[in-house]
Amino acid sequence: MLKKRVVAAVAAALMAGGASAVGVNPGGKGEQLIAPMVMVGGGWESEIRLVNTDTVNSAVVKLTFHERLHSEEVLDFLVFLSPGDVWRGTAVAQPHATAGMNRLAISSSDDSSLYVPNEQNNCPRATAQSVGFDPSLVRAAENRQPTSALTGAMDSSFTYLTVHESSLVTGLGNAPVDKAAILAAYSRWCNAAATGSAVAPAGTGAAGAVGTIGGTPAIVPLHAWNTPGGGNAITGDVTLRNPAAGGSLANLPMVALDSVDSAIYHRVGIYSSLGDTTAQLQRVGTATTNSDTKSSVEDALWANNFTVPYNLNGAATLATITFPTKDAWNRSAFSTGQYFPRIGNQPSVMVTARDEQERTLASVGCFISPCPVGSVDRLPWELNILTFTTGPGTTANGQVSTSGFTRGWVNVNVEQQGSVARAEANYNNFGRQGAPALSTYMIVEPRSTGGFNMTWAYAPKSQNPGAN
């Protein structure tokens, strides 16, 4: 009898965790990519590179930039990749109407950068207006949307980027493929799907069973339940550079998530967070109640105890902590994520600094301001940037003091309290410490010949994914 009960319990656990196969692909290829930080202004720019590693099929990819405070979407657009194609674009700073702020813009001469007018349904027209992105036209909004939790001007000096492999385009032949042909096929599918015409019934089987228009070319909107052979083909990276500072640069690969439901991300101007019930209902051509995207991505990204090395001996160190599923600007997202039960929707954090001789400086009082002395430290934003200093105590927002230590490492323990609620049944790390988060560190060391040597890498962490 005991054996039967154990087998039943194991089977139940497996069934509960079988709702999704989303995971972080250590190989760097996926259907969804995340760049934890894009920086512009002060002489800095960020080159973005995407590669379609599928040498048979073309791909339509959507890029969405989110501002750092509340993840509000400041800019989104599509790029059209032929088989084996590489796209490059550079995020640069444009003047902002508000002093002290920057306006992110994209410059690209790549032939995959088609400047395309949108229809009223947010689908692209069949013909591009021009090839290449002019930063005076492809740029972030200056002010927040009326639905935002914040108001007024919006600074896009620091953003994070999500990239969605929205659809495959098959049947156009081997490379090189005319980008205009990819656009025309995609426009045809998107507009037909938006009007509900010529769209195959929703399915949960083979790739392309969801909203596919057959024939040649055929459009395959990618879905989490697709079979091998479709999707998981995009990889990319971000390179920070400052031409005025001796060509200083640092490169960071994007985090790749495989088997993500990306079918909802095929139109420009449509809410494109990592998914909640509202976003799922915007998936054109399908009818589903599975709001799997946010839940499964949160499971895949769940982590804590980030290890951040620092060097303050004539050098500078900063760290980033990004919560790419929080979406505080969209109030409805609170009810479908792991931040709702946390105080003020701000995850707590405990910071412990060590030097290279194993000496420890435990955090006392408020380590990351602003917060009153003696209160719990919290990470208030979606993209938190922490600078390190050897000075005593903490006096500035986002500053971590090592109190005299110049080299060592810091343990950043995000959300020690176990999660007390689920976004929905069978998902998320119920009862576990941590949060869906990404952390990087950057060490900047001046060169004797001018400029800087820069190290930019992901912080080692305790990976604690859910059983999905």
Cα angle at 104 between 60 and 132, to 5 degrees?
Answer: 45
Query: Is the pLDDT confidence value at 64 over 80?
Result: yes
Q: Dihedral (C-alpha) 102, 108, 113, 116: value to the nearest 10 degrees? A: 50
**Rounded Cα gap, residues 330 and 147, in angstroms:** 7
CA pair distance 328, 333, nearest whole angstrom: 7
Q: What is the 3-state secondary structure (H, E, C) of 279-317?
A: HHHCCCCCCCCCCHHHHHHHHHHEEECEEEEEECCCCEE
User: For 9-30, what is the mean pLDDT?
Assistant: 58
**Which pTM does this prediction carry?**
0.84
In terms of pLDDT, which residue wins out, 241 or 374?
241
Which whole number is the average pLDDT over 318-332?
77
Q: What letter does residue 136 receive in the DSSP assignment? A: T
- Nearest Cα neighbor of 84 from 166, 178, 174 is 174
Helix, strand, or coil (residue 59): strand
Domain-wise residue ranges, the chain: 18-290, 301-463
Q: Tell whether the model's pLDDT for residue 275 goes beyond 60.
A: no
pLDDT, tens digit, 9 for 90 and up, residues 80-134: 999 999 999 999 999 999 999 999 999 999 999 999 988 877 788 999 999 999 9
- pLDDT for the residue numbered 376: 62
Say which range, 123-127, 197-201, 289-293, 296-300, has the weakest mean pLDDT.
Answer: 197-201
Most confident among 6-20, 103-117, 365-379 (mean pLDDT): 103-117
Can you give the pLDDT at residue 70?
A: 83
Burial class (CB in 10 A: 0-12, 13-18, 19+), 426: buried
> Using one digit for the tens of pLDDT, what is the confidence trace for 212-236?
344 445 555 444 333 334 578 899 9
pLDDT of residue 305: 92
The answer to whether the bond into 370 is cis (omega within 30° of 0) is yes
Helix (H, G, I), strand (E, B) or coil at 10: helix
pLDDT confidence of residue 205: 27
The highest-confidence range among 112-116, 209-213, 369-373, 381-385, by mean pLDDT, is 112-116
pLDDT at 210: 30
pLDDT band at 329 (very low <50, low <70, confident <90, very high): low
Q: What angle do CA 81, 86, 90 make, to 5 degrees?
A: 105
What confidence tens digit (pLDDT) does each residue in 159-184 have?
Answer: 999 998 888 888 888 888 999 999 99
The CA distance from 247 to 359, in Å, is 37
Residue 144 and residue 72 in contact, taking contact as beta carbons nearer than 8 Å? yes
